[in-house]
Amino acid sequence: MSTPFEYAPAPESRSVVDLRPTYGLFVGGEFVDGHADPLKSVNPATEEVLAEVATADADDVDAAVRAARRAYQRTWSRMSGSERGKYLFRIARLIQERSRELAVLETLDNGKPIKEARDVDVPTAAAHFFYYAGWADKLEYAVAGGGTPQPLGVAGQVIPWNFPFLMLAWKVAPALAAGNTVVLKPAETTPLSALLFAEICQQADLPPGVVNIVTGAGATGQAVVSHADVDKVAFTGSTDVGRSIARAVAGSDKRLTLELGGKAANIVYDDAPLDEAVEGIVNGIFFNQGHVCCAGSRLLVQESVAEEVLERLRRRMGTLRLGDPLDKNTDVGAINSSAQLARIRELVEAGEAEGAERWSPPCDLPERGYWFAPTLFTGVSQAHRIAREEIFGPVLSVLTFRTPAEAVEKANNTPYGLSAGIWSDKGSRALWTAERLRAGVVWTNTFNKFDPASPFGGYKESGYGREGGRHGLEAYLKGADQ
């Protein structure tokens, strides 16, 4: 759409971030060298190398686990809940104080639009620390059965690249509130905000070893989850890796929570508030370039309004602004890595080859960096790969249904079960549908709403365990009788 009202570039300043040329591992409260080959973290919007980051081999991971064990035994598990809470409140406030720095760094390293990093990722991360800080001295109310529940020990946590800092908060905040210490491995393409978090831990005077951060790729993660002295493993990422972690942990007494992939249905009934439903569809699949495990990647729209919804959706997609993630007006940023871009392309080609119709609005892609235009597939059937496999990109598959029963049947016909959306002005229909959807999170007349007080997690191949709320705390505690 051409308009005389061209928004001039409004870039957020990079100067707030002090990037170091090299970063070490964070073990025992200090930055130390790693002994595997360092990796280069790249800005996916420009392919510029941001920094060289040390990676941890098995010995480095062992040192981190030992540091965590020491901190667990000597200080953190013995500290009163209210004292732990003070540290967490302090961390939460520091996240707020350094929010701009965190947001810009997240955007540089991940490629997500600054407005998302600024308005969603960082504030929600701070909210998680505030929320769990409040639980730290109230743990006897967190687990059924009475008595004061006990922490598990050392938690090994492996997090993905789509929300690097927010996923860190989801993992670290409840673990620490419950009295555990952690060894966290950020994703290899997005380690930088976790390393800034390490600085925040220093700034907060967090006792050394309570939080340890080991950077690296799959081998480092493997070393973390299979370390003999790790009591609890928490993983967010792909279902494939989740399976291999479950195998690695099987037969040990490690506790495990997995938050894996999804192929969420976003169901639009004919009585839906259509303009807002279109907003919800756009938010559901194009938020964070579709790099969202709970993305509404399958649109199920009632046939009687399908044409009208698609007409409105196409027009709305035409107003999405793709480009420089640091520009405050950018709606769709860069794909996080060339590997992910290749996967999206492969699935989109499969969609075309299987006969679905592909559409994107006119959209200039920058020459450098990893980019993919917002894409819509119509004429998709349940059998197509693009309706079954998680694309993890800005690609929406549109399917139709005729009756509520068919909507539920199609929505549930997937190996995944993380999230779902329902759009209807009729409360009884929305509730009827929600009761029948096999998904851990069901949003009605909204999508991608996150709150630290609300548990989040999946069914089936989307994993097990819950994060957020009181349920998220249970994963890091054992009851008095255990």
Partner 1 sequence: MTSLSSTASSLADVTTSDAALRRFLHGLPGVDQVGVEQRVASLATRSIKTTAKAYALDLAIRMVDLTTLEGADTPGKVRSLGAKALRPDPTDPTCPSVAAVCVYPDMVPYAVEAVTTPGGRLHVASVATAFPSGRSSRSIKLEDTRDAVAAGADEIDMVIDRGAFLTGRYLDVFEEIVAVREACARPDGSRAHLKVIFETGELQTYDNVRRVSWLAMLAGADFIKTSTGKVQPAATLPVTLVMLEAVRDFRASTGRMVGVKPAGGIRTSKDAIRYLVVVNEVAGPDWLDPDWFRFGASSLLNDLLLQRTKMSTGRYSGPDYVTLD
Distance CA 113, CA 260 (A): 24
Helix (H/G/I), strand (E/B), else coil: 23 = strand
311 touches partner 1 by CB under 8 A: yes
Beta-bridge partners for 51: 41
328 touches partner 1 by CB under 8 A: yes
- The single residue of 12, 116, 293, 461 carrying the catalytic annotation is 293
Q: Which two tokens stand for residue 374?
A: 């917002």
62 touches partner 1 by CB under 8 A: no
How buried is residue 205: exposed, middle or buried, by Cβ count under 10 Å (0-12/13-18/19+)? exposed
141 touches partner 1 by CB under 8 A: no
Check: CB of residue 443 under 8 Å from CB of residue 422.
yes
308 touches partner 1 by CB under 8 A: yes
Q: Kindly state the DSSP code that residue 11 receives in the 8-state scheme.
A: B
Min dist CB 1 to partner 1, Å, is 7
Min dist CB 95 to partner 1, Å, is 20
Q: Kindly state the DSSP code that residue 73 receives in the 8-state scheme.
A: I
Site for partner 1 in 421-460 (CB under 8 A): 425, 445-446
Min dist CB 425 to partner 1, Å, is 4
> Would you say 423 or 476 has its CB closer to partner 1?
423
> Would you say 6 or 253 has its CB closer to partner 1?
6
Q: Which of 119, 140, 205, 346 binds partner 1 (CB under 8 A)?
A: 119
13 touches partner 1 by CB under 8 A: no
Residue 294 annotated to the active site = no
Stretch that binds partner 1, among 75-83, 229-237, 266-274, 457-465 (CB under 8 A): 266-274
What secondary structure does DSSP assign to 403-415, as a single string?
A: SHHHHHHHHH-SS
Strand runs labelled E in 117-208:
150-151, 154-158, 181-185
2 touches partner 1 by CB under 8 A: yes
Q: Which of 7, 82, 402, 405 binds partner 1 (CB under 8 A)?
A: 7
> Would you say 305 or 356 has its CB closer to partner 1?
305
8 touches partner 1 by CB under 8 A: yes
Distance CA 383, CA 51 (A): 43
3 touches partner 1 by CB under 8 A: yes
Check: CB of residue 184 under 8 Å from CB of residue 212.
yes
Min dist CB 8 to partner 1, Å, is 4
Min dist CB 287 to partner 1, Å, is 11
Residue 293 annotated to the active site = yes
Nearest to 443 by CA among 434, 432, 452, 454: 434
Check: CB of residue 305 under 8 Å from CB of residue 267.
no
144 touches partner 1 by CB under 8 A: no
E strand or H helix that includes residue 304: helix 303-317
Name the strands in the sheet holding 48-55, side by side, starting at the edge strand that comes first in the sequence: 22-23, 48-55, 36-43
Q: Which of 30, 275, 303, 451 binds partner 1 (CB under 8 A)?
A: 275
Residues found in the chain: 482
- Using alpha carbons only, how large is the chain's radius of gyration in Å? 22
79 touches partner 1 by CB under 8 A: no
- The single residue of 12, 259, 389, 461 carrying the catalytic annotation is 259
Q: Which two tokens stand for residue 238?
A: 């792909």
307 touches partner 1 by CB under 8 A: yes
Task: Give the interface with partner 1 as residue ranges (CB under 8 A).
Answer: 1-10, 115, 119, 270-277, 279-280, 304-305, 307-308, 311-312, 319, 328-329, 425, 445-446
Which of the residues are catalytic? 259, 293
